Amino acid sequence: MEYQILNTSTCLLVLLVFIPTGLGICPSSCKCSGNDRNVDCSGRNLTVLPQGLQDNLTYLNLSFNQFVDLDHQLTRFTNLRTLDISNNWLKNVPAHLPKSLWELYATNNNIKVLQKLDTAYQWNLRVLDVSRNMVERAVLINNTLSSLKFLNLSSNKLWTVPTNMPYNIETVDLSNNFLSQILPGTLVRLQHLRSLYLHSNKFSYIPDKAFDQLSQLQVITLYNNPWSCGDNQIIPYVLHWVQGTAARVLGAPCAEQPWPWASTTPAPALDSSPTIKGTKAADRETSATEPEPTKATKAHKQFKAKEVPPWGTQSGPALLPGSQRPLLHSPDGPQEAAATHTVLLQGPAGGNASLAPATGSSTTPMTLSITSGMPTNYPKMPQSTTSGTLRQEEATPSAPEARVPSRASPSRWHTGLLCLALLHALALAMD
């Protein structure tokens, strides 16, 4: 009996010793949940993996420790979905990570190179965050990382935008690097890219057609870069692209400086602009039949804008300075639409007594409407376009229409004179 009890005690002791390894009891230095499959060992000053981690982990947090090397130590966790190894002393991404990973966070380490084998077989990886390291070169293999949606390489030492980025990626953060160039074809395949962060780098220009394939882009940051705003040979592409893109641009280049093709001398007057060539031709055709310019015509000329902004700066229907005339875009170029300038003239009580009606008793406001300009696609300018018209508006919508006395016809004058003669003869007869 005593022998059996001794054997039983020995077996229980052996079980107690091997249970943490075999059955995966949560290590004392970690916190576990989800049947011990979610393990948090962060902030424990660990230098080696704790004992007792079971193989079917799905979440493992090893951040804020003192790991220097984790190569080949995480391969056995074949069900691992999320791995956080941030804020350690790692010099590289651990070799032979499990292919089951969905998310890998390796921020704030001493990683200098992102090797091609670090990500070559990570077909399921969706999030890769290697920010706040010392990465000088990121080598990605074409057609790998096919599930990756989020790539964060910010706050590193990259000089060139990484090539062979996965074609399904949606967010790329390359801010706070030393980026100064984008090699041809780097962004061509990124048809699903929605957010691109390039702020706080060393860009002075963007090569031609670099952004042309980013059809799904929604947000891009370009601020805090030393743009070459005065170099009209290399900067126009990005400026034109910023004006035409539907994406939200944060920190548009050269926003506080004149564009390189904007002349420093005053622009030519509106009369010499291509916008109104058709109007001037029509003026020449009708000048032979038109009378000498009236005061209204002279006033019309005063409403013309003095300068025309460069067409390259217009992203939509533009307004000429000093007027309300939009430029209509057509295959033949911008065209000036006709506009009516209305000047309100007050009655005698308002101080403009010289412009009040002759009757003197009416307080109906007067407006002087001067129509100027016209679309240049008309073959000829209507003669009424440059003429000033004086009209009297109604005081209220329901007020009766004011009638202007018209000149009497000759027959009425004769009848009136005859009546006066008869009345005069009748008066003499009565005397």
pLDDT score recorded for residue 3: 53
pLDDT value for 330: 38
Handedness of CA 166, 192, 128, 27 (dihedral sign): negative
Pick from 82, 171, 77: nearest CA to 125: 82
CA distance 234 to 98: 46
> What residues in the chain have per-residue pLDDT under 50?
1, 14-22, 260-291, 293-408
Measure the CA–CA gap between 36 and 332, rounded to whole angstroms.
Answer: 72
pTM for this prediction: 0.58
pLDDT, one tens digit per residue, over 307-320 is 434 433 334 433 33
Instruction: State the amino acid at position 280 in one-letter form.
Output: K
Q: Which two tokens stand for residue 231?
A: 């170099």
* Burial class of residue 324, CB neighbours in 10 A (0-12, 13-18, 19+): exposed
Residues sharing a CB contact under 8 Å with residue 166, sequence separation 6 or more, in sequence order: 140, 144, 145, 146, 147, 148, 151
Count Cα neighbours of 266 within 13 Å in the Cβ-side half-sphere.
7
Q: What is the pLDDT of residue 428?
A: 79
Give all domains of the chain, ordered by start, each with its CATH number: 153-263 (3.80.10.10)
Cα(367)–Cα(349) distance, integer angstroms: 16
CA dist., res. 132 & res. 314, Å (int): 40
What are the distances in angstroms from CA 342 to CA 299, 354, 382? 12, 18, 20
- CA distances to 64, 65, 293 from 26, in Å: 19, 18, 97
pLDDT at residue 142, rounded to an integer = 86
- Is residue 194 a contact partner of residue 171, using CB atoms and an 8 Å limit? yes
Q: What is the pLDDT of residues 335-388, one digit of tens each?
A: 444 444 444 444 444 444 333 344 444 444 444 443 334 444 433 433 333 334
Name the residue type at position 296. Answer: A
Distances (CA, A) of 355 to 98, 148, 345, 369, 386: 90, 75, 7, 14, 21
**Sheet of 195-197, strand order:** 31-33, 38-40, 59-61, 82-84, 103-105, 127-129, 150-152, 171-173, 195-197, 219-221, 248-250
Q: Which residue has the tokens 């079971």?
A: 54
Beta bridge partners of 372: 339
List all residues 6 or more positions away from 133 whose beta carbon is below 8 Å from its beta carbon.
Answer: 106, 107, 108, 109, 110, 111, 112, 155, 156
pLDDT tens per residue across span 104-142 = 999 999 999 999 999 999 999 999 999 999 999 999 998
Question: Which residue has 């981690």 as its token pair?
Answer: 53
pLDDT at position 304: 40
Q: What is the pLDDT, as a whole number, of residue 297?
A: 44
Structure token digits, residue 198: 């390039």
Distance CA 75, CA 73 (A): 6
Cα separation of 46 and 193, whole Å?
Answer: 38
